[in-house]
Amino acid sequence: MRETHTAIVFFVGDRAYKVKKPVDLSFLDYTTVAARRVACEREVALNRRFSPDVYLGLGEIRSPHAEAPEPLVVMRRMPPDRRLSRLVREGRAVDDALRAVARQLAARHADAPRSREVDEQGTRDALSSRWEASFAQVRALMDDGFAPDGAAEIERLVRRYLAGRKHLFDTRIEQGRVVDGHGDLMAEDIFCLDDGPRVLDCLEFDDHLRYIDGLDDAAFLAMDLEQLGAPEAAAYFLAQYSDYSGDPAPPSLWHHYVAYRAFVRAKVSLIQARQGASGAEADSRRLVTTALRHLRTSAISLTLVGGLPGSGKTTLSGALADRLGVTLLSSDRVRKELAGIPADESAAAGYGEGLYAPEWTAKTYAALLDRASALLSTGESVVLDATWSDARQREAALRMAERVSADLVALHCRVPGDVAAARLDTRAPGASDADLAVATAMAANEPPWAEAVTIDTSGSLDSAVVQALSAVRPWGTGQAPVFRRSYMEPD
């Protein structure tokens, strides 16, 4: 027998029988036989979407002393040694199992019903309301003495992310990404059998809590795998789900949903700690740390990398964008694209002349910021490679970043004049047309950039990247697992 706060499960031979408790927990009321029967019927119907051969149907317990038969869910019993959580704890290889779960989940999401009611739960404001409800509950618990470090920063990071990402969530709805999903995807309820996984125990007592973004559904299991000490498995699972579902979501959204699931679990642990459960307070602190790490990683940033020709800004921009896994936009490439010429075709001219006249420069920076704004609003962080020598352009970038609630970091690449001259003298042809004469003229007119962090690029590229990362991510190396699509070979 196993007991939860809402049910008792009896294991007899090759069967499991689940009886609902006659309880009223405010979010569900099973105090009548009729209510328990409806709950059992719903559990069977909803879970058959994922494991039809496990949920065999509805049964009854008949007693001469009862006014009505007691309904129960009749299930095929699963082998406990094939439970995913157990396999992970034992350090077993689970990639094949996770891939199969990702494939099944993506298939169920593809077939799931869509409706206006479902879509409403996928809006930015609906997610914000769920976060705010959890914040209020955690604050109330903190008033009783349970105060995990980082809760205030979590609130700030969540609100900033959501404030500038309405377009992202609207797009998710347009793409049909909000579904009637599982809602409670835990490794404890997944069994890895030889003929494929069996996913059990979806959330059945409140439909609205099951109407979620498919990525949010998958993020629940990713969070659970992290808590089991398998962050690489978590990242692998989300990458597999993304591939099977064809989901173009930015990694920032993956991290945001994992953080949301961790914070909700932290809230539950705080409640258990208040009730005296052993180890629950430590669990809540660990989960809050997980949520904070993912929210920091998901924060949307606009990084300006500037400097004179030969300062190494373009090389640093590329390396930094690769290291962060974000989008890189280059003023040199945008300028030539606007002019309708290939990026590597020369358009060399004197300082402030030709394609580098003030009107062309203004047009280039305007296009650069427009493209960055579109990316930032959809959850993509951006590195902008340009000289940024005009304070008006820097101010325009700051205003744009604030409009989309992105964190702006400015990096100013500097090297001694002789180093820059040597680089310009030996540089291969490319998108930039600036030569030593142009660089010298620009240096004579370069205004101060006090708000930028100076990056010494005269040494190794690795050294410059480390300096840049310390400015972009000042909290250090506590980064969440890197979520990337795996680009699988077709079966």
What 3 state SS string does 186-214 have? CHHHEEEECCEEEECCCCCCCHHHHEEEH
Whichever domain contains 362, its CATH number is 3.40.50.300
Confidence of residue 491 (pLDDT cuts 50, 70, 90): very low
Tell me the pTM.
Answer: 0.89
Query: Strands 407-414 and 453-456: what pairing?
Result: parallel
Q: What is the pLDDT of residues 361-420, one digit of tens each?
A: 999 999 999 999 999 999 999 999 999 999 999 999 999 999 999 999 999 999 888 888
Q: Could you tell me if 219 and 332 lie in one domain?
A: no
Lowest mean pLDDT segment, chosen from 274-283, 366-375, 398-407, 449-458? 274-283
User: pLDDT at residue 486 above 60?
Assistant: no
Question: Looking at residue 480, what is its pLDDT?
Answer: 58
Q: What is the pLDDT of residues 147-176, one digit of tens each?
A: 677 889 999 999 999 999 999 999 999 999
Question: Looking at residue 169, what is its pLDDT?
Answer: 98
Q: What is the pLDDT of residues 41-64, one digit of tens each?
A: 999 999 999 999 999 999 999 988
Q: What whole-number distance in Å separates Cα of residue 193 and Cα of residue 70? A: 31
Lowest mean pLDDT segment, chosen from 328-332, 417-421, 455-459? 417-421
Confidence of residue 144 (pLDDT cuts 50, 70, 90): low
Cα 81 to chain centroid distance, Å, stands at 31
On whether residue 490 sits in a domain, the answer given is no
Question: Looking at residue 276, what is its pLDDT?
Answer: 80
Q: What whole-number distance in Å separates Cα of residue 190 and Cα of residue 94? A: 12
On whether residue 293 sits in a domain, the answer given is yes
First to last CA, the chain: 41
Question: Looking at residue 430, what is its pLDDT?
Answer: 73
For residue 330, give the nearest of 348, 353, 308, 313 by alpha carbon. Answer: 313
Question: Looking at residue 490, what is its pLDDT?
Answer: 33
Helix (H) or strand (E) holding 190: strand 190-193
User: pLDDT at residue 339 above 70?
Assistant: yes
Percent of the chain at pLDDT above 70? 95
Average confidence (pLDDT) over 202-220: 94
Spell out where 373-424 has E strands: 382-385, 407-414
382's tokens? 């951006």
Q: Could you tell me if 450 and 331 lie in one domain?
A: yes
Contact 247, 239 (CB under 8 A): no
Contact 108, 215 (CB under 8 A): no
How many CB atoms are closer than 10 A to CB 193?
A: 14
Backbone phi, then psi, for 239, in 5-degree steps? -65, -40
SS3 assignment, position 330: strand
Report DSSP state, residue 81. Answer: G
Q: Could you tell me if 337 and 429 lie in one domain?
A: yes
- Domain assignment of residue 46, given as a range: 2-76
Q: Could you tell me if 313 and 292 lie in one domain?
A: no
Please count the residues of the chain: 491
Q: Could you tell me if 291 and 212 lie in one domain?
A: yes
Q: Could you tell me if 37 and 153 lie in one domain?
A: no
Question: Looking at residue 342, what is its pLDDT?
Answer: 86
Average confidence (pLDDT) over 222-229: 96
How many CB atoms are closer than 10 A to CB 372?
A: 24
Q: Could you tell me if 68 and 152 lie in one domain?
A: no
Contact 378, 175 (CB under 8 A): no
376's tokens? 């930032």
Q: What is the pLDDT of residues 56-106, one digit of tens each?
A: 999 999 988 888 999 999 999 999 999 999 999 999 999 999 999 999 999
Q: Could you tell me if 101 and 46 lie in one domain?
A: no
